[in-house]
Chains A and B, each alone.
Chain A
Amino acid sequence: EVHLVQSGGGLVQPGGSLRLSCVASGFTFSSYWMSWVRQAPGKGLEWVANIKHDASDQYYVDSVKGRFTISRDNAKNSLFLQMTSLRAEDTAVYYCVKGGWIHELDYWGQGNLVTVSS
């Protein structure tokens, strides 16, 4: 059974940094793309970033380019999102998501709330 267990959310001041982590189990982590998707309070879903199975490619939504970095450690079945220069509009629940064979988002973590506020 696929499990994605997230950690690292919390309250941070504007301009601050935070690192989200996600530990995967139940599948061959090193074979799949992984994504981060976020959801602002009361709003819809927004795809944030993804990373190729071997970390050789990463993509980002324009609003986080240059501020967020997605990475992975296949030896530890772990996915990360390093967030810097955080803004109030980055406040959201962030989900770690596994990609399927044709990149559909097939398994989701429990979500972590990130609140950017002074």
Chain B
Amino acid sequence: EIVLTQSPGTLSLSPGERATLSCRASQSVTSNYLAWYQQKPGQAPRLLVYAASSRATGVPDRFSGSGSGTDFTLTISGLEPEDFAVYYCQQYGSTPPWTFGQGTKVEIK
């Protein structure tokens, strides 16, 4: 089973600032099948990025994913008020079980 470790646990930033979230895998993610999700309180998660760098339908271009192998990054180029939330990475490249990281909370500074 691939273990995903996200850092930092909490990111305190102001609107307009750039956010950089990290996700490190315990072994290489097959085909770079790594996704990022956003979750706001009381809501279901929302897919942002899949296959490491492809934006999902309707996701603003301030969200971008990068990385390969074991190291992946989600960047939010300029935080909007609605971007303050918890972000999870997830790998789905190998035969299940698929795994999630523990999450990074992006909070208003």
Contacts and interface: CB of A to CB of B under 8 A. Distances in A.
Interface of A: 37, 44-47, 50, 59-62, 95, 100, 102-111
B35 to A, nearest CB: 5
Given A100-B50, A105-B90, A60 B97 contact: yes
B47 interface: yes
Interface residues on B, range: 20 to 34
Given A105-B37, A105-B90, A47 B47 contact: no
The DSSP consensus for interface residues of chain A is strand
Given A103-B92, A111-B44, A44 B100 contact: yes
Contacts of B88: 44-45
A108 B47 CA distance: 9
Contact of A44 (B47, B98, B103): B103
Interface of B is mostly: loop
B57 to A, nearest CB: 8
B46 A108 contact: yes
Interface of B: 31, 33, 35, 37, 39, 44-47, 50-51, 56, 88, 90, 92, 95-103
Nearest to A6: B44
Contact of A95 (B31, B44, B96, B97): B44
A47 B103 contact: no
B35 A47 contact: no
Nearest to B88: A45
B44 A44 contact: no
B6 to A, nearest CB: 9
Contacts of B101: 44
B50 A45 contact: no
B32 to A, nearest CB: 10
A105 B35 contact: yes
